[in-house]
Amino acid sequence: MAVLVAQQPSPGEGFSAVTEAVGRLLDADLAVLHVFQGDGTARTIASWSGGGPILPIGTRFPLDGDNLAARIFESGAPARMHSSDEAWKRTATDLAQSTGVRSAVGAPILVEGKLWGALMAATGGVESWAENAETRIAAFTELVATAIANADSHDQLTSSRARLLSAADDARRRVVRDLHDGAQQRLVHAIVTLKLAQRAFRKGEGKAEPLVEEALKHAQQGNAELRELAHGILPAVLTRGGVRAGVDALVTRLDLPVEVDVPADRFQEEIEASAYFIVAEALTNVVKHSHATRAEVSASAYDGSLRIDIRDDGSGGADPGGHGLVGMNDRVTALGGRLQIDSPMGGGTRVTATLPLSMPPREPPSGSPTNRAG
């Protein structure tokens, strides 16, 4: 079963296989997997029968009564019930009677520490379950939790990649729009004005000099807008000097003291670009939202990973679901890394990104810039 889960089948296949394995292991007549819904019910998402009636997928049980699912939901612990129990006699349903179930045992499923559902086995026999029945089921609930986590990670990665593709398309459209509305218009205006100046020169009119000055002004403004646009895509200082040079240049433009402790090592281009944009986005959030008086940026490469920390002494309470942090997480996830956000109210914010390195750091070029504090 562990090998099957590790192969990451579809959730339905994994749930059905685990449910059947529990039923056969405990020699049960029926085994079911429930997920706890947000509407106060437990819903059957996998069911197996040893040959008798089977519990239909989609069957719901109330979680406010005294049934096995409700007991597990309320306690968050394994539980068992038998037809001799008073509670069973009071709450026995037509479904239990139609399936011939007289005894049931189950264990909770915890996913990342949160109660997610329950895995149960039932029988129509009168004998009691073995004392370790709950423990044996619990071993399978861990496999279910792993399958759920795998599916969730896959869904998150798929969504992350879709957002990255959408963001890249949006970025390209912005570049085209900015070029058309900005630098391109400036250059067109400069060309038209230069042609007018050329005509004025040929006719010996005195209008040529102010026209040349106007054309020069538009050319200079167009050049400045192109530089600004290129800076937003990938700063030249980052390409030449790596993460440290890029961060050093970044903090000089901020109206906030930033202490920088970043190595001069060079890394793969995609790692350097991602590290730079993570720092840039985090510091932008600090300046815009945190009311901080200072910030720190540190980085270190060890054990095949580059770890980047951005901390501030601001108001905290950063929303991980905010656009900037979601985009940051997408960038990290796309590289197979991990993003952590610690932002208690009133306690500042700490953003930590860990990026895997597929090769050791490169030696920095001679004459690379030194660390500095902005």
Rounded distance between C-alpha atoms, residue 122 and residue 214, angstroms? 88
Rounded distance between C-alpha atoms, residue 310 and residue 247, angstroms? 11
| Total Cβ atoms within 10 A of residue 100 | 14
Least confident among 59-68, 153-162, 206-215: 153-162
How far apart, in Å, are the Cα atoms of 271 and each of 239, 260, 278? 12, 18, 10
Cα angle, residue 116 at apex, residues 92 and 87 outer, rounded to 5°? 20
| Total Cβ atoms within 10 A of residue 317 | 14
Of 367, 190, 113, 355, nearest to 264 (Cα)?
A: 367
Rounded distance between C-alpha atoms, residue 309 and residue 351, angstroms? 6
Q: Are the C-beta atoms of residues 111 and 143 closer than 8 Å to each other? A: no
Rounded distance between C-alpha atoms, residue 364 and residue 374, angstroms? 22
Name the range with the highest mean pLDDT among 151-160, 169-178, 191-200: 191-200
The helix (H) or strand (E) run that includes residue 331 is: helix 323-334
Q: Average per-residue pLDDT in the chain?
A: 78
Query: Does the pTM exceed 0.85?
Result: no
Cα angle, residue 174 at apex, residues 173 and 180 outer, rounded to 5°? 90
pLDDT value for 231: 56
Percent of the chain with pLDDT over 70: 73
Instruction: Indicate whether 282 pLDDT > 70.
Output: yes
Rounded distance between C-alpha atoms, residue 340 and residue 321, angstroms? 13
pLDDT value for 372: 43
Instruction: Indicate whether 332 pLDDT > 70.
Output: yes
pLDDT value for 371: 42
Rounded distance between C-alpha atoms, residue 343 and residue 349, angstroms? 4
Least confident among 45-49, 171-175, 243-247: 171-175
Instruction: Name 234's Cβ contacts closer than 8 Å, sequence gap at least 6.
Output: 273
Q: Are the C-beta atoms of residues 258 and 283 closer than 8 Å to each other? A: yes
Kindly write down the DSSP assignment for every residue of 277-319, as one continuous string: HHHHHHHHHIIIII--S-EEEEEEEETTEEEEEEEE-S-----
